[in-house]
Structure 1
Amino acid sequence: MLSMGIKVFKFGGASVKSAEGVRNLASVVNRFSENLVIVVSAMGKTTNALEIILAKYLDKNLFHTDDLAKLKEYHVDIVKELFNGESDFEDGKISSMFSEIEMFIKANKNTDYNYCYDQIVSYGELISTAIVSAYLNSVNINAKWVDARTCLKSDTNYREGNVDYKASLESSKKIFDFSSNRIYLTQGFIAGTPFNTTATIGREGSDYTAAILANLLDAQDVTIWKDVDGVLNADPKMFSNTCKLDFVSFQEAIELAYCGAQIIHPKTIKPLQNKKIPLYVKSFINPDAVGTKVLHSDVQLQLPPVLIVKRNQVLISLTPRDFSFVIEDSLSQIFAMLYKHRVKVNMIHTSAITFSICVDEDKHYLAAAIEDLKRDFVVKYNSNLELFTIRHYTNEVIEEYISDKKVYMQQLTRSTARYVMDAIER
């Protein structure tokens, strides 16, 4: 059966940000004899750099080819170090891909931000995987490079593409047949549309790609390789005395991802849960360490308090202009406007005549949404906030982290305490 012995690996940008990182990836892959599908993200901060290039392109007065040249140089330097300056690889495939970006910028007439985003930013993954694939093959790890757009099919909801599972299953079974290759390497984050354009499936979506492919191929498990030892109860860059969670249920992982934990992409769990495919989060720095196992569990696993900080938040309060009660009709109207502008709601509070929401700050969507809402509501908002979540809270933990903070909105349930408050340095 196709499912026997297939493992899906995902390596993020931090794991391939340098030549040393690419070599380490090869070392990790070499440990395994099973059939592998390897999903790789853009190198380092390439996605951020391409987003800046995109923003400058849409403001015609700011874009300059020097920005592309600097990004190309970063990748070429990695290639030179990997191949000791003896490969002409950088003069071929890399140059070709950067030329394609420049040609798109010069020829494109469509100024829709989401469309342009997907056609430009997707090159980060394409370039990264081309380099990693070339290196793996140079050290006798026979890895077949696959363009993810040929196996994952999406609609044209650019930046938030909806994957067509039926079409993706058909194409993936043909491509990943393991008849002549044991290892396949492809891109996270991107898919192909029926119109031969590129769609991305959500920022930081490479985890999601790995989960989808695992679902389609009936993989035995998925491993996300990170720069930490597993899923921790807090970000070690923000908090001291963190601890690793050895086991996390699918349900808990969904809750953590929804609250803003960046260790796993929010959409990752469903494709795995549907087929009860376990997920491992392990360290590419210390691959022998046990890591965290995310799995189906009917038993409530005991966990310590988990601290999650979601930055760049905006608190919006809406009051009907006629001071009518906030009832179902008003809520439907509000959510329809938010959906129209792709504004994601992280927390909700309602009173008799005021409806408050905490949302991600997104300069491309939020301003237009607020203007639409102002037609029927008095709108007040605060920016530069953070959403601080404590899963499995205790009164002592709340006292430790919240007592001296300015809190604008709070919410307590049986197992989760959430606070919208001024952003603080940690």
Structure 2
Amino acid sequence: MVLPTKLILSTIHLVLLGVLLLLAGTSSFQCSSVDQATLLAIKKQWGNPWQLVSWDPVANADHCKWTGMVCGGGCSGAVTGISLPRLNLTGKLRFLDLSYNAFHGVLPHDISRLSPAMEHLNLSTNYFSGTVPAAVAGLPALRSLILDKNQFTGAYPAAEISKLARLEKLTLAFNPFVPAPAPLEFSKLTNLSYLWMGDMNMTGEIPKAYSSLVNLQMMAICENNLTGEIPAWVWQHPKLKYVYLFTNGLTGKLPRKITAVNLIELDVSDNQLTGEIPEEIVNLKNLSILFMYTNQLSGTIPASIAMLPNLRDIRLFENNLSGELPATLWSLPKLIILDILNNGFTGALPTKIPENIQWLDVGNNKFSGSLPTSATGLLVFSAANNLLSGELPADMSKFAKLTRLELSGNQLTGAIP
């Protein structure tokens, strides 16, 4: 494939700019040899084209005399620029990663000319602005399109992106796009396994049509303005492992039919969900993180939650939950964090907090009885504003790891040990 001259220039300059930035930080005694090695690696990657025959350390040890080299800077032999116009270079650019830089400006409308073989395009975490060009549809081999954390505006080309049939990873998050509903067109991307569309002014409901995304493993549509209920397909998806829908305006109750058995992390916090946590949550055998805080959930924590052996982080604070905690909750072998602040729980706390629990916040509830007498693993313990009574444990050596203790607003008596 013969690359157009403009494409040669733009592609080479983009790729080599990152190389030059790296070389600029090389120490003076290393810079010459490192620069030369890097240039030879680039030449090899391009298939050792005859146009770069001068890039030969045997025939010419001074790489500053090689075709296209501009040298200068703080040490002898430091490459500060590369210019290779009109050389009719050929190649198949498959991977371009310019992430975590300070590039700015708009993307060219002929971006599709990069290479029809392009499989991975990563422009994440820069300062690119303007609109995402519709010509991105002209990169049919794309498997990952990573555009998050830029300053793109306007409407993103959903119809064109949906033509990228091979796409497996798509990120558009953290861009100030114009407010718009979640694009139905993305339901055509049936090879998607990773979808990140957080904080991009998305409105409306989570499309039911996304049930066609049968290979989806990670879905993050968080920090938007989504409304309506979480569609049933989310709770029944056979491959989903990570679901992040936090900080939206989602409503409705949690369903009784939950069969997404591969879920590992579920975060639906900071929404307006109501109703109870269903017993059917027991089906999520692989669940490790359960975040449902800052909603309007009511009822009790189901006893079946103790049958989720991989749970390590449960955060249910700021809801309307009540009743006693199931005794089996304390037997979860991997539980590290339990945060149920600001609810209406009653009953007593266990005498001994299991050693695996490091963070326990039960503040602003209605717990009564005595404080636990042993919590050898706790780093943080907050039980403020409850109905606890009695004295502080005399032997505080069983709380040796504590870095924070909050017990105000109770009915405790006696001396501080």
- Could you state the TM-score of these two structures normalised by the residue count of structure 2? 0.28
- Could you state the TM-score of these two structures normalised by the residue count of structure 1? 0.27
**Higher RCO (Cα < 8 Å, 6 or more apart):** 1
